[in-house]
């Protein structure tokens, strides 16, 4: 199981768990809260088949990565990603972020620029700015985030149970597009996350990414469920598409937050179309 050390906390290394599969044009998949890189299981085989090298990793505090009590902010998350990219010596790589992962995509380019980044994809992402303010009237009221923090503090396990109902819109899709077992599997991953991270990540959801998004200058695809109850499309996906010149918005009808699972076929088709067929492209250019 490969890990990379991205820092230290007292006597211990802070290590990120990652997986590196396939060959071809690299694609880095960045998961959402409160899951891990394993949540991309519906996308992994399709993108491998399309000829890409796929890198997934677990954000600090989640999955099989270390669970420090520090570093739960987007500058650190982007730095962690940058260290992974440098460690793997990636070039011409695509960044694909879901939910919180969309924040890493934005902050990475905002902080380090787009050199080496070929394309960007944001699925149900939290940029550009989720918090309702005088200059951002379409945002989410701050009391919502405060309520989530209180719920996580009181009983994060009970919170996760309620959270996943709206994550997958189970009242609509349970037994149709997602099983009880798949929801339970997500809950199990969430329960294994750091208690510190589970709480500390919540205020990062209303980070102001507007300056970061303004720096995105690579081909960009935005995918968002029209019925997203976690991150409303009008507060996020629709705005990213307007702010990033030449980007494309794919709004999934009736799609919940976790469209990468419930609407995997539609998402995968769009990803393959946007990212291209890595090995096939090179084979053609080599033969010519």
Task: Indicate which residue of 58, 80, 212, 228 is catalytic.
Answer: 228
Catalytic residue among 66, 99, 236, 247: 99
Burial 3-30 (b: 16+ CB within 10 A, else e): bbebbeeeeeebbbbbbeebebbbbbbb
Using CA atoms, how far apart are residues 238 and 232, in angstroms rounded to an integer? 9
99 is catalytic: yes
Question: CA–CA separation, 166 vs 59, rounded Å?
Answer: 22
> Any catalytic annotation for residue 36?
no
Spatial distance between the Cα atoms of 232 and 227, rounded to a whole number of angstroms: 8
Rounded distance between C-alpha atoms, residue 46 and residue 64, angstroms: 24
d(CA 62, CA 192): 7
Q: Of residues 31, 52, 206, 257, which has the active-site annotation? A: 257
**Cβ neighbours, 10 Å, residue 194:** 19
Residue 62 in contact with residue 221, Cβ under 8 Å? no
How do 12-21 and 25-30 pair as beta strands?
unpaired
Supply the residues annotated as catalytic. 99, 228, 257
């Amino acid at each position: 199981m490969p890990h990379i050390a991205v820092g230290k906390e007292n006597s211990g290394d802070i290590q990120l768990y990652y997986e590196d599969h396939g060959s071809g044009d690299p694609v880095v998949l960045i998961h959402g809260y409160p899951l891990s890189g394993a949540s991309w299981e519906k996308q992994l085989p399709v993108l491998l088949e399309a000829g890409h090298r796929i890198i997934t990793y677990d954000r600090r505090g989640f999955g099989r990565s270390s669970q420090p009590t520090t570093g739960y902010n987007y500058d650190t998350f982007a730095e962690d990603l940058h260290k992974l990219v440098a460690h793997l010596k990636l070039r011409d790589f695509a960044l694909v972020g879901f939910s919180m992962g969309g924040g890493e995509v934005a902050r990475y380019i905002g902080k380090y620029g787009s050199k080496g980044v070929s394309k960007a994809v944001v699925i149900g992402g939290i940029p550009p700015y989720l918090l309702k303010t005088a200059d951002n009237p379409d945002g989410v009221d701050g009391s919502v985030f405060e309520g989530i923090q209180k719920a996580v503090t009181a009983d994060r396990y009970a919170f996760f149970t309620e959270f996943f109902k709206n994550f997958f819109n189970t009242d609509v899709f349970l037994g149709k597009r997602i099983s009880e077992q798949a929801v339970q599997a997500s809950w199990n991953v969430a329960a294994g996350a750091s208690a510190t991270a589970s709480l500390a990540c919540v205020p990062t959801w209303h980070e102001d990414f507007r300056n970061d998004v303004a720096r995105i200058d690579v081909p960009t695809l935005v995918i968002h469920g029209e019925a997203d109850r976690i991150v409303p499309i009008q507060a996020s996906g629709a705005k990213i598409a307007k702010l990033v010149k030449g980007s494309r918005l794919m709004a999934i009808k009736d799609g919940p937050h976790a469209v990468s699972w419930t609407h995997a076929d539609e998402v995968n088709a769009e990803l393959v179309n946007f990212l291209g067929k890595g090995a096939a492209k090179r084979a053609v250019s080599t033969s010519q």
